[in-house]
Amino acid sequence: MDSEKLRRKPPEAERFQGDRLRKAPFQAGFADGPDLMLHFTDLYRQMGYLEEKGLIHLFLRDIPGTNLYLDPEAEKELMERLSPYPPGGIHFLDNGNYHYVTRLFLSMLKGPFDLLVLDHHRDDQAPAFEGTRSCGSWIRDAGEDFGDRFKSLILILSGGQKEVRGEPDPARPLYLSIDKDILDPGVFRTNWDQGNMTLPEMEEILRSELSGRYLAGADLCGETAEAGGIYEEAALSANREVNDRLYRFLNTYRRRS
């Protein structure tokens, strides 16, 4: 693959630069930005998303050192490929092994922000290997990396348990990250252990937390598990149904001109 082509700013990214410099006061709704689908695995292709209009597809399977743990060389390459796209919009991150990508989008935010996370896990563990970042450490890493810019964390866990760190401010930009492993396995099975939340419960929580907020961006991870490189057709269908429903729901928060 042509490395120079990978680093050139894609033409579809040009029109999304305005909100990167937007200053307060912030309007309720999403920041201007593209909707991205990150292909670390073959999952989204098998779901039929390559034919989906309105999504920009970034193919990342050629980057070594990304599964579960993100090594420094992989992080540098990944940031180069993400950098043409501002963090506004909705991002599909693939399965929960890649939840650390949220921290990379947060690094693109200018100024203070609040973070809203729905997850079955707290993702604040120390990385198991020195010098790497992981899907289980990214919230801790963000706190260390962004310091005073990371003003507050609103963490929603299974059963609707809510933990707040810092002081959220409705006037401050809010970034949203959803790991679908918070959902009950009866909704669909992810590749991690899961909580017991239903989709209606999730949507009700989101309505409450997002009301009147300026969304600096949003992402979703937590996809179905494979067995020997093979995904069951029923699992793919159930997973896509959930993705599409949440995508439609989040799109209701788009600002209308």
Contact 121, 192 (CB under 8 A): yes
How large is the average pLDDT for residues 184-206?
94
Average pLDDT of the chain?
A: 88
Pick the residue with more confidence: 21 or 60? 60
Higher per-residue pLDDT: 30 or 184: 184
Interior angle at CA 73, CA 68 and CA 74, nearest 5: 40
Angle at 225 between CA 238 and CA 205, to 5 degrees: 55
Mean pLDDT of 47-70: 94
The residue type found at 156 is I
What are 123-156's pLDDT values in tens digits? 787 777 677 787 988 889 899 999 899 999 999 9
Q: Note if the bond before 25 is cis, omega within 30 degrees.
A: yes
User: Mean of the pLDDT values across residues 58-81?
Assistant: 96
Q: What is the pLDDT of residue 39?
A: 98
Q: What is the CATH number of domain 30-251?
A: 3.40.800.10
Cα separations (Å) of 97 from 164, 191, 221?
24, 8, 9
Res. 180: pLDDT tops 90: yes
| CA neighbor of 178 nearest in space, from 114, 88, 250 | 250
Buried b (16+ CB within 10 A) or exposed e, 169-207: eeebbbbbbbbbbbbeeebbbbbbebbebebebbeebbe
Residue 256: its pLDDT value, please? 57
pTM of the prediction? Answer: 0.89
Give me the percent of the chain exceeding a pLDDT of 90: 71
Which band of pLDDT confidence, cut at 50, 70 and 90, is reported for residue 14?
A: low
Whether the Cβ atoms of residue 91 and residue 36 lie closer than 8 Å to each other: yes
At 19, the pLDDT band (50, 70, 90 cuts) reads: very low
pLDDT at 5: 42
At 52 the pLDDT is: 87
Domain boundaries, the chain: 30-251
225 band by pLDDT with thresholds 50, 70 and 90: confident
Q: What is the mean pLDDT of residues 181-188?
A: 95
Closest CA to 114 of 146, 152, 148: 152
